[in-house]
C-alpha cells in the first residue's frame, strides 16, 4: 500500500500553556492527512462525491498513543497509510515523527458514507468500490 506524508509546523495556537502540542490537534492533523492522502491518488472530495456519491468518511473509532512530545515551532512529519480495507470501512494508520523519532501513533476506522435513499438527511454505509482500493496499491 502507498504511504502519504507531509510536514506540519507546530504553531503557537496548536500548543497548551507548556508549549506542548494540545493532543486534539493530532486528530486534526490525522484528518487532514487522510483527505490529502486521497487527493494524492487522484480521489479528491469532488471526484468522490460526483462519481461515487460518497459524502464523507465518518470516523467510528479513533485512538492515539503519544510517545514523545512535540513543541511550539517543531516541524513534524505525518505519515498515513491504509492498514486495512473492509467491505464498508477502512483503517487509516498515522505515524508522526519529530526530529526523526516516532512521537505519535494513531489509527482511525472510517466508514464509506452515502446518503440514505429514503431520507437524504441521514447517512448509510456503502460498499467500497474495488477501484478505490486499487488506487492505493
76: exposed, middle or buried (C-beta count within 10 Å: 0-12, 13-18, 19+)? buried
Does 14 participate in catalysis according to the annotation? Answer: no
Indicate which residue of 16, 39, 50, 61 is catalytic. 16
* Contact of 23 with 15, CB cutoff 8 Å: no
d(CA 113, CA 128): 9
Q: Quick one: which of 90, 87, 128, 96 has its CA closest to 29? A: 96
Active site residues: 16
Amino acid at each position: 500500500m502507498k504511504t502519504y506524508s507531509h510536514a506540519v509546523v507546530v504553531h503557537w495556537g496548536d500548543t497548551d500553556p507548556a508549549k506542548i502540542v494540545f493532543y486534539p490537534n493530532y486528530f486534526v492533523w490525522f484528518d487532514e492527512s487522510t483527505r490529502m492522502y486521497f487527493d494524492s491518488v487522484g480521489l479528491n472530495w469532488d471526484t468522490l462525491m460526483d462519481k461515487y456519491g460518497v459524502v464523507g468518511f465518518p470516523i467510528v473509532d479513533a485512538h492515539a498513543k503519544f510517545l514523545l512530545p512535540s513543541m511550539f515551532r517543531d516541524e513534524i512529519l505525518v505519515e498515513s497509510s491504509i492498514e486495512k480495507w473492509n467491505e464498508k470501512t477502512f483503517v487509516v494508520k498515522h505515524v508522526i515523527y519529530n526530529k526523526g523519532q516516532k512521537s505519535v501513533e494513531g489509527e482511525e476506522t472510517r466508514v464509506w458514507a452515502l446518503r440514505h435513499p429514503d431520507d437524504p438527511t441521514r447517512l448509510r454505509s456503502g460498499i467500497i468500490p474495488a477501484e478505490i482500493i486499487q488506487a492505493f496499491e
